Amino acid sequence: MDTGEPRHIGPYEVLGRLGVGGQGTVYLGQSEAGRVAIKVIHAQGAADPRARRRFADEVSIASRVPRAYTAMIIDAAIDRDQPYIVSEYVEGPSLQRLVDNHGPLSGPALERLATYTATALAAIHGVGVVHRDLKPANVIIGPDGPRVVDFGVARALEATAVITTPVGTPGYLAPEQVGGADAEVGFPADVHAWAATMYFAATGRMPFAGSNVAVIINRVLNETPDVAVISEPLRSLIADCLAKDPARRPTTMELLGRLVGHQAENAQATVPRTRILSSVIGTLKETTTLGSGPAADIVIHGEGIAPAHATVRKVSAGYRLHDHSSGLGTFIDGSPVLYATLRPGDRFTIGTAVLRLTEAGELERVRLSRVMPPARWWLLLLLVAAVALMAIVAVTG
């Protein structure tokens, strides 16, 4: 670690730096209970009462969002000379890093990412919060699914507050965020940012790119991205969400409803005629390398499987899977993962091979007599839960 970095922040040991943003620096820390993320406000911001208020707002706002969709706040020290926030450390790459290193997503992986992030956005809006900086770098692909993080520029949407400050990352801002001081920024701006983020996930490119901020802002205001390279149903949905006029964009619940409705239709249209065949291919040791090469402890043949594709290590909670930036990648429930905790009964996919962990610590290779999409009834539950959450907020707020 850089000798200029702090060794401790409050009671937390600093293990390294995770990143630097406009508001502060984020460190990886160690607590008695495990690893944490520590966000420390920049020195110049610590002396600014407005920056301190924003920092305190971030604690309040992040604490209101259900923890399934973000990183849970564990501790905060707002009154210190240099304030900090301690949150749950979500192990995994950002969507930005995942796409930069492995390329764009497609098919079920992209659809699941879209649904999970839209559900997170519905939960965030359900507690009256506008994120205002949703982008690939703020979506963490954790072991249990995507999390939306960094509420440093988020604001609670109160009836007495009109938000006009153009804060965020230019390439993912909505036209009303960059088009003038009189524009009100609300939930539609986050819907626009969601679409821009999904565009990046599907293409590996920003929808509004440019050599400088002025060029980017001009494109946000005046140009329409080419969505032809994106497959339906996301193509038309992303196009609608990128509408210049906020009033023409779908609401968060309409967005989620269209995603869930399409996937439910696909599930109903598919006749379930599969037969599952499985065979044991090896037993996991303390540390086991999976891959197609001769050095692998368990050799697995198939398309997209690297010679040393992944490592599985025995831990107290089960087995810890680590993908080695390989081939077609490693997936759980259709979502790409670099790290994941496996327990008996769990299935995961490396390349084109579907594997299952047994109670005895064996790996079975699962083969289907006919490839079928998984049942999507649980997506309807997500929609029902989001509607219920917003209803509760409306009643109690």
Evaluate whether the domain defined by 276-368 bears CATH number 2.40.160.40: no
Mean pLDDT of 30-56: 79
Task: Give the tens place of pLDDT for each residue, 180-218.
Answer: 655 578 899 999 999 999 999 999 999 998 888 888 888
User: Given pLDDT bands bounded at 50, 70 and 90, which one contains residue 256?
Assistant: confident
Single-letter amino acid, residue 196: A
Kindly tell me if the per-residue pLDDT of 321 is higher than 60. Answer: yes
Concerning whether 144 is annotated as a catalytic residue, the answer is: no
pLDDT value for 286: 93
Among 75, 100, 133, 182, which one carries the catalytic annotation?
133
Domain assignments of the chain as residue spans, ordered by start: 8-88, 95-269+377-396, 276-368
pLDDT value for 164: 39
Whether this prediction's pTM lies above 0.75 is answered by: no
Kindly tell me if the per-residue pLDDT of 13 is higher than 50. Answer: yes
Q: Which fold has domain 8-88?
A: Phosphorylase Kinase; domain 1 (3.30.200)
pLDDT value for 338: 76
Mean pLDDT of 229-233: 89
Task: Give the tens place of pLDDT for each residue, 284-293.
Answer: 999 999 988 8
pLDDT value for 201: 95
Task: Give the tens place of pLDDT for each residue, 44-62.
Answer: 666 777 777 777 777 777 7
Percent of the chain exceeding pLDDT 70 equals: 76
User: Given pLDDT bands bounded at 50, 70 and 90, which one contains residue 380?
Assistant: low
Task: Give the tens place of pLDDT for each residue, 118-150.
Answer: 988 888 888 788 888 899 999 998 877 788 887
User: Given pLDDT bands bounded at 50, 70 and 90, which one contains residue 245?
Assistant: very high
Please state which CATH number belongs to domain 95-269+377-396.
1.10.510.10
